[in-house]
Amino acid sequence: MRTGITAFRALNPGGAAELPTSHSATVNGHLFERWLVKSVFNVLSDGVVGFAENVAGPSALHWVFGTELVKPPMGFYAEDLTGSLLPASDDLAVVGHESVTNQLVGATVVMQGLRFLVWLRQEFAPHAQMFQPQKAPLLYRPTNVHFAAARLGDFELNFRW
C-alpha cells in the first residue's frame, strides 16, 4: 500500500500553491503492480468471498500477498504518454473491463489523470483499444512514464523492476 500512496502523493505534492516545473518519482514496480492488483480486487469484489480466485485463478492470493509475481501478460500496463498533456485531476477511480462472455478481464485505474491497466487474464494480452479512447500504445511494466500535467509541468514516474 505504501508504494501506491508514495506514487499518488508524488503526483499531487501536498496541494502546494506553487508546484515545481520539473518533477519525478521512483517507485518499486513490483510493489506498485501488487498495490494496483489489490486495489482492483478490493474495489471490484464488493465483499464477495473468493472474488480474486474466481477472476484470476488460485495464483491471485499469491500476487496479493507477494509470494508470487504476476506472470506476463497479466499485470501492470501504462499508456505511452510521451508528448501528452494531462488535465488537472484529483480523481482516483477503478473501472472493471469484461469480456464478451461477461468475465472480468482487467481494470483501468485512474490516478491524478494517469490511466493504468491491470490485466488479469493469462490467455491473451490486452490492446489499447480495449480500455482507452486515445488508443495510445500500451507499455507492459514500463521503466518510466513521462508526461506533462496541467498542475505539475513535466513529470517522470520511474519504476524499478
pLDDT computed for residue 43 by the predictor: 85
Please give the pLDDT value at position 49: 72
Contacts of 79 (CB under 8 A, 6+ apart): 114, 115, 128, 132, 134, 136, 137, 138, 139, 145
Q: Are 159 and 144 in contact (CB under 8 A)?
A: yes
**Reduced to 3 DSSP states, what percent helix, strand and coil does the chain have, rounded to the nearest 5?**
25, 30, 40
Domain that holds residue 91: 2-12+21-160
Residues 57 and 86: their CA atoms lie apart, in Å, by 35
Structure pTM?
0.77
- 116-150: per-residue pLDDT in tens? 899 988 887 787 666 555 667 788 999 998 887 77
pLDDT tens sequence across 19-66: 455 578 899 999 999 999 988 888 888 767 777 777 777 788 888 888
Number of folded domains in the chain?
1
